[in-house]
Amino acid sequence: MSTIEIKKVTKRFGDFTAVKDADLSVGPGEVVCLLGPSGCGKTTTLRMIAGLERATSGDVIIAGQRMNDLSPQKRDIAMVFQFYALYPALSVGQNIAMPLHYEKLSKDETDKRVMNVARIMHLTDVLDRMPGQISEGEKQRLAVARAIVRDPNCFLFDEPLSRLDVELRHSMRGQIKEVLTGLSKATVIVTHDQLEALTMANRIAIMRDGLIEQVGTPHEVFAKPANVFVASFIGTPQMNLVEADLKSFGNGKAAVRLAGNDIEIAADPAVSRLKPSKVTVGIRPRAFTAASEKSGDTIAAQAELIEPMGAETLIHARTSAGGEIRVVIPREMKVKIGEAMHLRPDPKQTHFFGEDGKAVRA
C-alpha cells in the first residue's frame, strides 16, 4: 500500500540540527504539504524520505518497509523538483517515456502509457515538440507526467510551482490536485506558499526551526492553530496577536486588559486555568465587527492607514496602548483616517495562548 511514515527522524549537519524528532504519516491517496519559512527543514525532511539524505536517527518507512539503508532507486519514489530536469534533446513524448526505460515494456505498452499520461496532463497536442518549444506551464505538466507514468510507491514534490507566474500557479494547483486525487498514492509536497498548501493538501505539517509545530487539515491549522507561531504563519492578513493581562474568569467569560481596554469576552473554559497571567490573544482581521459605540466587549482604536483590497478594505488601526490592530471590513463600510473605531472581536474566533505560546483549549 502507498504510505509514507517518518518516526522521530532527526538530521544533523555537524553541530547543527536541521530536523528534530519529526513524526509524520501519510496515507494512500493523501497529500501532505510541508510548509514553513525558509530554512525550517522542509527540503531536508523530503530528501530523507527520498533517500537523498541519510537520517541521523529515526526511521523512514515507505509502503510499510523501513527504507533507511536503501538507495533512492530502491525506494521506488517519483520526485518532481523545482527545476524540471527535462531532457532537452528528447521530445515531450520521449521525455514522458524515459522513466519506463528500465521496465522493459513492449513499444505498444510504452506508447499506451505515454498517451494515457499525456491525456491526463493535457499534453497530447505537444507530444512531438522539444522542451525548448513548450511553455512554462507545459514544462511543469511534463515534469508531473514523467513522475506519474510509472507506478511508484509514492510521490514527492519540492516547490513544484515556484517557477510559474501567479496565474499559472493558480490553475496548476487545481490540476495537480485533481491528478493526485485520482492516483491513490501517498504524496508529500514541500512549499513555503501557504495558499499552495491550503489548496492542495489534505493535511499540512507546519515546520519551524527543524520542528513540526502542528499537523492538521487546512481548516484545523487555520481555525485551531496550536501555538502563536502557527497562528501568525497561517492566514492573510496575519492574525492580530495582542499581549494582554488575564485578570479573572467567570460565567464563561474572561476579563482581560487588552490594548488599553478592559473587556470581557466569552472564552473556552480551559482559559480559566491561566488566570491571572499574561496571555496572548489572537484575533483574525476578519473576526471583528465595528460597533457604533464603546461597550464592555469592544476595543477602542483609531484608523491610521486604509488599504483597499477589492471587495474588502484592510484598516490598520492604532489602539490607545500604542499597538496596531489589523481589521478587514466590507468595501461598502466607509472609514476615514483618524476615525475612532470600536472593534468587537467574535468570541468564537478569539484564541488564547499561554505564556509558553501554546493555544489554550479544552
Q: How is residue 22 written as a grid cell?
A: 519529526
What percent helix, strand, coil does the chain show, rounded to 5? 30, 35, 35
Task: Report in angstroms how near the CB of residue 196 gets to ligand ATP at its nearest.
Answer: 12
* Least Å from the CB of residue 137 to ligand ATP: 23
85: left (phi over 0), alpha (psi -120 to 50) or beta: left
Using CB under 6 A, which of the segments 11-19, 225-233, 245-253, 287-295 binds ligand ATP? 11-19
Cis before 37? omega within 30: no
- Which of 13, 23, 174, 340: binder of ligand ATP (CB under 6 A)? 13
Which C-beta is closer to ligand ATP: that of 35 or that of 259? Answer: 35
Nearest distance from C-beta of residue 44 to ligand ATP, angstroms: 3
Min CB(36)–ligand ATP separation in Å = 6
Q: Is residue 41 within the footprint of ligand ATP (CB under 6 A)?
A: yes
Closest CA to 141 of 96, 106, 98, 186: 96
- HEC letters along 146-173: HHHCCCCCEEEEECCCCCCCHHHHHHHH
**With respect to ligand ATP, which residue has the nearer C-beta, 37 or 296?**
37
Sequence-ordered list of residues with C-beta below 8 angstroms from that of 102, at least 6 positions apart, any chain = none
User: Which range of residues in 13-21, 194-202, 232-240, 333-341 is near ligand ATP by CB under 6 A?
Assistant: 13-21
- In this chain, which stretch among 12-20, 104-112, 177-185, 274-282 interacts with ligand ATP, using CB under 6 A? 12-20
Closest distance of CB 68 from ligand ATP, Å: 18
> Pairing relation of β-strands 4-13 and 16-26?
antiparallel
Query: Residue 54 Cβ, how far from ligand ATP at the closest point, in Å?
Result: 11
106 binds ligand ATP per the rule CB under 6 A: no
Please pick, from the candidates 28, 29, 39, 323, the single residue that binds ligand ATP as defined by CB under 6 A. Answer: 39
Options 4, 9, 18, 246; binder of ligand ATP; rule CB under 6 A: 18
Q: Which of 63, 86, 83, 85 has its CA nearest to residue 75?
A: 63
**20 interacts with ligand ATP by CB under 6 A:** no
Q: Which of 2, 44, 187, 261 binds ligand ATP (CB under 6 A)?
A: 44
Q: Which whole-number Å values give the CA distances from 168 to 164, 176, 348, in the listed order?
A: 6, 12, 36
Q: What is the dihedral of CA 76, 4, 199, 280, to 10 degrees?
A: -140
Residue 54 or 278 with smaller CB distance to ligand ATP: 54
Least separation in angstroms between residue 13's CB and ligand ATP is 3
CB of 201 to ligand ATP, least distance (A): 16
- Between CA 116 and CA 99 the distance in angstroms is 15
Closest approach, Cβ 19 to ligand ATP, in A, equals 7
Q: Does 191 bind ligand ATP (CB under 6 A)?
A: no
Q: Does 192 bind ligand ATP (CB under 6 A)?
A: yes
- Parallel, antiparallel, or unpaired for β 186-191 and 203-208? unpaired
What is the DSSP secondary structure assignment for residue 117, as one 8-state letter? H
Q: Which is nearer to ligand ATP, 47 or 113 (CB)?
A: 47
C-beta closer to ligand ATP: residue 207 or 258: 207
Of the candidates 125, 196, 189, the one whose C-alpha atom is nearest the C-alpha of residue 155 is 189
Q: How far apart are CA 118 and CA 353, in angstroms?
A: 50
Task: Judge contact between 313 and 307, C-beta under 8 A.
Answer: yes
Question: Which positions lie near ligand ATP, rule CB under 6 A?
Answer: 13, 16, 18, 36, 38-44, 192
